[in-house]
A and B are shown apart, each in its own frame.
Chain A
């Protein structure tokens, strides 16, 4: 029994009501240890995004249980009052597109999260710089997002996902726009960060390039998850 990380038990999500209802998630069970990166793969329409949205506390599941770190956040109903603060403090998001805020420079794009959590500007920027350095984009710290390459933007987005040291990171197709080399670099970074900050990371992907890197993979089909051992191949 792990104390931190992510645990999902019997999670269900039904969209709509009556005749038009869609059971997007029927029975989802997952367990991700801190420091672990697992893959979540499945065909289109199988419920991957729905699962991320439930875990990310932006939509409400229909039933089941979700535990983040040592806190049960959902047990047939939300147990957390301030979902916004939950997202801010406990969950890091990394998207397929970096979605950086175009009017903030690289440092402030990352520093914004600790600032929103009430940290001082100086401290927030210092933490941002630490992560940017770890991700090797510190030389672009003063640039605006539009001046960065796609790979650099993605690394800044990862820094943003990590900066509040959330126990959980949800990454939705983070490598889709990248070539093999860059995609593997991102996975390496995620693995490093997972270890360094004891973060549990779920990576949703279709990307054949990176699937072999996961030690554990969850398949999802018609809203049901199946666990499977991955190849856990070394990268880079």
Chain B
């Protein structure tokens, strides 16, 4: 037996391939949407991985430092470092802002890291070019996605920083590239007021009778000094000694320091569950809509193709073709159309959409396999109307009047 579906497709392949390509673009968009979702989850995961922390210590009752603002005293880490099971601690600040270079600016997550060496919590674990920060001021390590190059001068607030190293795939949970600078500079960038505000505050403090008490000449100086220090960080990153139960140490810190602590699991929950919850719901909606549109398109195309063959189908039935053969002809065509669409879609998503899309698009092979399964399912579903129409054709029609 010959393949009726195959012959029909070969006979009108132009029509078939063009429809398949149209469908393919739609499938490409769908695969890219799924890839964007995976990319967001992956962004969140690399953010956690790259921080090389086991615990995040943040301001009480906040979801900091990524999902909500958090600020804690910069000396909090001392008490934590002394606790049993704690291997290393490091202060860290995160601030998402526009970073200027020449006449362009890039949205980036500026990360303040403590002095130390690679492996210190918060530090980029590896570089693709240049070196780590060695001076305590005005050096920066930028992610390659920011577009900055070694030697670029970045302006963050009032100061200029030289790019000395480059990283890859170090991004915020929102996909913004990270730029690492020394902690002190970062604290200034985040907490420092501008000069006018500082002068204003000094004047107000100086005029306040509360700080100008007779017999206490040093009080004003002390208050002014305390007001102009930036004694806050966003979080303390904690690395645990091998074999330590994260939840035990976390509980200890919560109890003794009265701070909120998240383990990796909990941070993962916050990053993938809460932070990107709305976006993933939107993407899911798009996926559903695109699937419905694809179904409608395949159904319409297959139905039209079948209606164009009513006479042939009547003849086939008259000369003794079984319903099963005719149904499978339509079904095979539908699946063939879906397969062309999927291949075109996969190529479009991989070669064209993912590289140019401004967000990270992660195309997982398993997602593609599932996507193909769904495409086949959609094709089966949408060929049903056409099959029903074909099975209703009366072989007597072939004999005519």
Which residues from chain A sit less than 8 Å from chain B, CB to CB? 49, 52-53, 56, 58-59, 84-85, 87-89, 93, 95-97, 99, 101-104, 108, 112-113, 115-117, 121, 144, 160, 172
Question: Per-position contact with A for B1-44: 1 when CB-CB < 8 Å, else 0?
Answer: 11010011011100000000000000000000000000000000
Distance from A117 Cβ to chain B, minimum over Cβ atoms (Å): 7
Residue of B nearest to A85 (CB): B320
Residue of B nearest to A93 (CB): B318
A108 to B10, CA, bound (A): 14
B264 close to A (CB within 8 Å): no
B356 close to A (CB within 8 Å): no
Q: Is the CB of B319 within 8 A of A113?
A: yes
**Chain A residues with CB under 8 A of B395:** 58, 87
Distance from B208 Cβ to chain A, minimum over Cβ atoms (Å): 94
Interface centre among A49, A88, A99, A117 (most CB of B within 10 A): A99
Q: Is the CB of A172 within 8 A of B7?
A: no
A95 to B397, CA, bound (A): 11
B169 close to A (CB within 8 Å): no
Question: Per-position contact with A for B388-401: 1 when CB-CB < 8 Å, else 0?
Answer: 00000011101111
Q: Which of A56, A96, A108, A112 contacts B318 (CB 8 A)?
A: A56
B81 close to A (CB within 8 Å): no
Q: Is the CB of B400 within 8 A of A59?
A: no
A-B residue pairs in contact (CB < 8 Å), sample of 7: A53-B396, A87-B319, A99-B312, A103-B11, A103-B12, A104-B2, A144-B11
B240-257 CB contacts (< 8 Å) to partner A: none
Q: Is the CB of B399 within 8 A of A172?
A: yes
**Chain B residues with CB under 8 A of A113:** 319-320
Q: A101-B312, A104-B7, A108-B2 are in contact. Are A49 and B318 (CB under 8 A)?
A: no
A95 to B315, CA, bound (A): 10
B316 close to A (CB within 8 Å): yes
**Chain B residues with CB under 8 A of A97:** 400
Q: Is the CB of B400 within 8 A of A87?
A: no
Contacts between the two chains (Cβ within 8 Å), count: 75
- B interface SS class: helix
A112 to B329, CA, bound (A): 14
Q: Is the CB of A84 within 8 A of B322?
A: yes
Interface centre among A88, A89, A103 (most CB of B within 10 A): A103
Q: A99-B315, A121-B1 are in contact. Are A49 and B401 (CB under 8 A)?
A: yes
Distance from A43 Cβ to chain B, minimum over Cβ atoms (Å): 14
**Chain A residues with CB under 8 A of B159:** none
B321 close to A (CB within 8 Å): yes
Distance from B19 Cβ to chain A, minimum over Cβ atoms (Å): 16
B202 close to A (CB within 8 Å): no
Question: Per-position contact with A for B305-322: 1 when CB-CB < 8 Å, else 0?
Answer: 000000110011111111
Q: Is the CB of B394 within 8 A of A49?
A: no
Q: Is the CB of B1 within 8 A of A103?
A: no
Residue of B nearest to A173 (CB): B400
Distance from A160 Cβ to chain B, minimum over Cβ atoms (Å): 7
Residue of B nearest to A146 (CB): B11
Given contacts A49-B401, A88-B319, 19 further A-B contacts (CB under 8 A): A56-B318, A59-B396, A84-B320, A87-B319, A87-B320, A87-B395, A88-B320, A95-B398, A97-B400, A103-B8, A103-B12, A104-B2, A104-B4, A112-B319, A116-B1, A116-B320, A116-B322, A116-B325, A172-B400
**Chain B residues with CB under 8 A of A99:** 311-312, 315, 398
Residue of B nearest to A101 (CB): B312
Distance from A131 Cβ to chain B, minimum over Cβ atoms (Å): 15
Q: Which of B1, B322, B399 contacts A52 (CB 8 A)?
A: B399
Residue of A nearest to B394 (CB): A58
Q: Is the CB of A87 within 8 A of B318?
A: yes
A88 to B395, CA, bound (A): 12
Q: Is the CB of B7 within 8 A of A108?
A: yes
A113 to B318, CA, bound (A): 11
**Chain B residues with CB under 8 A of A84:** 317, 320-322
**Chain A residues with CB under 8 A of B315:** 99, 101
A103 to B329, CA, bound (A): 13
Distance from A165 Cβ to chain B, minimum over Cβ atoms (Å): 14
Distance from A111 Cβ to chain B, minimum over Cβ atoms (Å): 8
* 10 cross-chain pairs, A with B, having the tightest CB-CB distances, nearest first: A88-B320, A103-B11, A58-B396, A103-B8, A103-B7, A58-B395, A99-B315, A87-B320, A115-B1, A84-B320
A97 to B315, CA, bound (A): 11
Q: Is the CB of B320 within 8 A of A56?
A: no
**Chain B residues with CB under 8 A of A49:** 399-401
Q: Is the CB of B312 within 8 A of A102?
A: yes
B363-401 CB contacts (< 8 Å) to partner A: 394-396, 398-401
Q: Is the CB of B318 within 8 A of A160?
A: no
A222 to B272, CA, bound (A): 81
